[in-house]
Chain A
């Protein structure tokens, strides 16, 4: 679990604390290290959001992966 991080959706924010949801399970998360708003996704590690996930970059990676797997890379 030490370097395990999972994508979690931020559903509520109160100061440095937020509620994150994954697969219907909700958990308190500390958001001291990130600037997020409700609806953003973060990587959750040991109770802390360590980064806001970048949707554009995720789409870009998927595009690249599709290209690579088509042999066009």
Chain B
């Protein structure tokens, strides 16, 4: 079966758009996931929505929500061995430097596609290999599996974050949100159980990533509002089961346990991160970093507010003037899932 093209059908998209336009109320929906943000801009979906439906970008970009403190500590990992990372992290500016700058000065920083590629690097060297464990529940099980099947010199600096506690915090905040497009690949792993607390409070639809998926999910949110419902519906049924992927979840919790975490923009949130369990303590690279940092957000950068849907990138005085993908000031401009990067790339700035 073709799992892509039927969900990109332009006639279907314009028909869905027409249906959505019948809804007259002013509403604000948040697409939680950065991959949704990118898809919305790539396919120009905002132009298919009426003005009364506003899409807000959420905190679903793992690189973007990583705090300056964690970025500084992660950069310090270059002093303790070979650093292996997803490419998104390379140019994220910390308070004093970035991995890219350290690499230019001679640090051994390698970009990998999979945590298993980092395990392969460790098998071929006697040096420590530190993998930067960034990502939500989509990624954490894969990193846990890498930890379980790795040699002694492989370690992980854990910065994983969990989505539901962040949504809870967002709802407690001052931003008005009338519906959530829930992250399709996070829910592929976790299922929808962890989101049950949203039931009866706010309409939610777990969405796929193709244009017709996203438009259909918006239409489903609209229908929920019309019918006075606040359910958790799944549009992305070909990948998301209510129970999620049990094997992946078991592996994640075998290696990690929930712990408090600091989010850029949202601050400290109880049980919203993952720490490596004591049984796997020798794999925890955070124990190697003894330095204390006076970490700071870059002056003028509004990433923290962008991540909460409080402002749009164009509201930031740095956007496109001094902060560009080539010279990023904040992480939202660096990551391929960052809201500022999406606005820049598809908004006629590039």
Interface residues of A (CB under 8 A from B): 1-5, 7, 30, 32-34, 41, 43, 45-48, 50-51, 53-55, 57-62, 64-66, 68-71, 73
Beyond the given A4-B185, A33-B145, please list 9 additional residue pairs across the A-B interface where CB-CB is below 8 A: A4-B337, A41-B1, A50-B189, A50-B245, A50-B248, A64-B216, A69-B12, A70-B15, A73-B19
Inter-subunit contact A68/B16 (CB<8 Å): yes
Shortest beta-carbon distance from B251 to chain A in Å = 7
Q: Is the CB of B245 within 8 A of A65?
A: no
Question: Is B135 an interface residue when CB atoms closer than 8 A count as contact?
Answer: yes
A33 surroundings in chain B (CB, below 8 A): 141, 145, 245, 247-248, 251
Residues of B within 8 A of A45 (CB): 138-139, 142, 185
Residues A2 and B141 in contact, CB atoms below 8 Å apart: no
Restricting to B159-214, which residues have a CB under 8 Å from any CB of A? 183-186, 188-189, 208-209, 212-213
CA–CA, A29 and B247, complex, Å: 16
Chain A contacts for B88, CB-based, 8 A: 1-2
A-chain residues with CB within 8 Å of residue B136 when the two chains form the complex: 2-3
| Known contacts A2-B337, A3-B34, A33-B251, A46 near B86 by CB under 8 Å | yes
Interface majority SS (helix, strand, loop, mixed), chain A: mixed
Task: Give Cα A54–Cα B241 distance, bound, in whole angstroms.
Answer: 10
Contact of B139 among A43, A46, A57, A71 (CB under 8 A): A46
Asked, given contacts A3-B183, A58-B3, whether A51 binds B239 with beta carbons under 8 Å apart, the answer is yes
Looking at the complex, which one of B1, B18, B141, B185 makes contact with A3 (CB distance below 8 Å)? B185
B124 on the A face (CB < 8 A): no
What 1/0 flags go to B6-41 for Cβ under 8 Å of A?
Answer: 110000100110110000000000000111000000
A1 to B63, CA, bound (A): 10
Which of B93-101, B111-119, B264-272 lies at the binding interface?
Answer: B111-119
Q: Check if B342 is an interface residue, CB within 8 A of chain A.
A: no
Q: List 11 A-B contacts (CB under 8 A).
A: A5-B209, A7-B4, A32-B145, A50-B142, A51-B245, A54-B239, A61-B237, A65-B212, A68-B216, A70-B15, A73-B19
The interface of chain B, by Cβ under 8 A from chain A, is 1, 3-4, 6-7, 12, 15-16, 18-19, 33-35, 60-63, 86-88, 113-117, 134-136, 138-139, 141-142, 145, 183-186, 188-189, 208-209, 212-213, 216, 219, 223, 235-241, 245, 247-248, 251, 335-337
**B335 proximity list for chain A (CB < 8 A):** 2
Q: Contact between A50 and B116 (Cβ–Cβ < 8 Å)?
A: no
Q: In whole angstroms, what is the CA distance A29 to B172 when docked?
A: 40
Contacting pair A2 B134 (CB below 8 A): yes
The 3 closest A-B pairs by CB, nearest first: A47-B114, A69-B15, A58-B238
B-chain residues with CB within 8 Å of residue A73 when the two chains form the complex: 19, 219, 223
A5 to B35, CA, bound (A): 9
Q: Is the CB of B6 within 8 A of A62?
A: yes
- Which residues of chain B are within 8 angstroms of A65 by Cβ–Cβ distance? 7, 12, 16, 212, 216
A51: B residues at CB distance < 8 A: 188-189, 239-241, 245
With the chains together, A34 CA to B12 CA distance in Å? 32
Which of A50, A51, A55 counts the most B-chain CB atoms under 10 A from its CB? A50
Are A48 and B238 touching (Cβ within 8 A)?
Answer: no
CA–CA, A62 and B114, complex, Å: 32
